[in-house]
Amino acid sequence: MGELEDAVMTRVWKWNRPVTVREVLEDLQKERSIAYTTVMTVLDNLHQKGWVRREAEGRAYRYEAVSTRAAYAAALMNDAWSQSDNPAAALVAFFGMMSEEQRRALHDAVRIVQGPEAPAEPAGPQPSRPEGAEREASAPAERGEPAEPREQNPGAAQGGAGR
């Protein structure tokens, strides 16, 4: 997607409703000088590419996003990753570029995808437990007692994101 297509799609995604060329034009003109026919052509191109659907309204069209910005970003990441000759190295490099906030978002996303069966704690070195703690943690199951109910991931309980 080109820069102007992205600027148009940003508005369509942000407004989250069917929009007209005139609405997009007026908003874009706050930032740049642009012609009505240019915005009309961009929206037509986005329609041809499958990013927006359109419905006739009088002599004009109303355009609506076919998918979300998140789905677009995921498609970009997947496309870039699938073109790598070493996907694992590409992921390591990508993770190395992430901010702490992005890493937390990644961790949350992995938990949502894995569902409620996934461990609540991240993999890696864990804080040491007092001696015998492992035996105490498994003791109810060994005695045939029901285990404490596990807390479900809030995202998974609501169907998760992107499912």
Length of the chain counted residue by residue:
163
Q: What is the pLDDT of residues 41-98, one digit of tens each?
A: 999 999 999 999 999 999 999 999 999 999 888 888 888 888 999 989 988 998 899 9
pLDDT above 70 for 141 = no
Question: Angle at Cα 29 formed by Cα 27 and Cα 31, nearest 5°?
Answer: 90
Q: 1-5, 81-85, 109-113, 156-160: lowest mean pLDDT where?
A: 156-160
CA atoms of 23 and 29, how far apart (whole Å) = 10
Q: What is the pLDDT of residues 107-124, one digit of tens each?
A: 998 999 898 765 555 555
